[in-house]
Amino acid sequence: MENEALATEARCAPVTSQRKIRNDLETSLPKPYLARALVAPDTEHPTGTPNHNHNDMSVLQQHVAFFDHDHNGIVYPWETYTGMRAIGLNVIVSFLFAVFINIALSYSTLPGWLPSLCFPIYIRNIHKAKHGSDSGTYDTEGRFVPVNLENMFTKYARTVPEKFTFKEVWEMTEANRVSFDFFGWGAAKLEWVVLYSVAKDKDGLLSKEAVRRVFDGSLFEYLAKKRSGGEAKMD
C-alpha cells in the first residue's frame, strides 16, 4: 500500500507511463514542490541563476522587467519592440509581437478600470495577465514552481535528455491545452516557438538551462549581451 500511495503511473491511464515524472528531485533540489517567489532554481542551480539580481520582484515580474527600459515599472509597446529586437527578432516580428503582447496583456494589469490607448503593461500586476494552457511553472501569483520545470523535460524530452527538439516543444504545447482556452493555446504556442527560434543551440535543440533562464528573464539579458558583442555565458 505504501508503494501505491507514491505511485506516479496508473495502468488504466497509459498517458501516465508515457509522460513520466521524477521522484528523486529532493536529492539535489530542496523542496522542489515549493513555489519560489524570488529565484528560478533547478537541480543544477538550486539557488537560481548566478549573479542575477531579483530586485525583490517575483520571478514572473523579473521575466517582464527586461523590457522595462526606463525602469518605471511600466512596459509600453515601443519598449516591447526594442526588447524583441535586442534578443534577435527581426523588425516585422518584433513589431507584431509588441502590438499583440501589449494589446493582449495591458488591460488586465492596469491599476484602474479605464483602458489606456498607450496599452501599458504594469509589472506590479503582471500576475493578472497569466494565461492558461501553460506549463504551470509560474503559479497564479507569479512564483516559480521548480518541479514543473523538471517534469516538463522528463515528460517530453525523449530525443536528448533535458533538451527539446522543435517537435517535442510542439507536442508539449499540445499536451498542455485546456479545453476551450483558445487564447491560451495560441499564446503558449507563440511563446514557445519564438523561444525555440532565439535560444536553440547549434544542433537545433532547446536546453533546460535556456528554458529555466527565460522564466526569470536572465535569458533575455544573455541574448542581448551576446548580440551586442559583449561577454555572455550560459552556465
| Beta carbons within 8 Å of 179's beta carbon, 6+ residues apart | none
- Residues 169 and 126: their CA atoms lie apart, in Å, by 25
> Could you read off the pLDDT tens digit of each residue along the chain, which spans 235 residues?
558 889 999 999 999 999 999 999 999 999 999 999 999 999 999 999 999 999 999 999 999 999 999 999 999 999 999 999 999 999 999 999 999 999 999 999 999 999 999 999 999 999 999 999 999 999 999 999 999 999 999 999 999 999 999 999 999 999 999 999 999 999 999 999 999 999 999 999 999 999 999 999 999 999 999 998 766 666 6
Read off the DSSP letter of residue 160.
B
DSSP string, 66-91: TT-TT-SSEE-HHHHHHHHHHTT--H
pTM of the model: 0.94
Strand, coil or helix: what is 192? helix
Q: Give me the pLDDT at residue 96, please.
A: 97
Q: Give me the pLDDT at residue 229, please.
A: 79
